[in-house]
Structure 1
Amino acid sequence: MPEHVTPVPSPCVSLCKMNRDTGFCEGCLRTIEEIVAWGRADDDYKRAVWAQLRLREQTIDFD
């Protein structure tokens, strides 16, 4: 995601399944708190979530 895109796009990929072990959605890697907050969050918050998602992609394996 480009750093200064406005509005910040949602990371949702329509594969909504919360993993009990990790606490992350298996589709977008967000927590339930991040998912709930997204609609009302400002762009700075959303960019911070995107930064976390990049880190999670490198470290989380659902297999």
Structure 2
Amino acid sequence: MNDAAAVPSPCVNVCRMDAASGLCSGCWRTIDEIAAWSTLDDDGKRQVWQAIDLRKAQASAVDGERSR
């Protein structure tokens, strides 16, 4: 198995950085995370995925509060 493919990239080919959040609106990564992706080991890539999951959960919670 190719080590580079062991942890898939979160990129969805929607590359737009949101100025307010500092995150890509497609993959939810920071510019630093995007730039570093190819040099990260699998543990580092998993940490980025965990950060993405946390950001999405926090955004959902905020959206849920707004809809009340």
Q: Which runs of 5+ in 2 are unaligned?
A: 61-68
The corresponding residue for 1:51 is 50
- 1:26-49, CA deviations, whole angstroms, 9 ceiling, x for partnerless residues? 000000000000011100100000
Q: Which runs of 5+ in 1 are unaligned?
A: 1-5
CA RMSD for the aligned pairs?
Answer: 1.3
The corresponding residue for 2:7 is 8
| Overall identity of the aligned pairs, in % | 50
Aligned residues: 56
- State the TM-score, normalized to the length of structure 2: 0.77
Name the CA distance, whole Å, in 1 between partners of 2:53 and 2:23: 13
Instruction: Name segments (4+ residues, structure 1) moved above 4 Å.
Output: none
Richer in helix (by share): 2
Name the CA distance, whole Å, in 2 between partners of 1:51 and 1:16: 20
State yes or no: 1:17 paired with 2:16. yes
- State the TM-score, normalized to the length of structure 1: 0.83
The corresponding residue for 2:64 is none
The corresponding residue for 2:38 is 39
Which structure is richer in relative contact order (CA contacts within 8 A, separation 6 or more)? 1
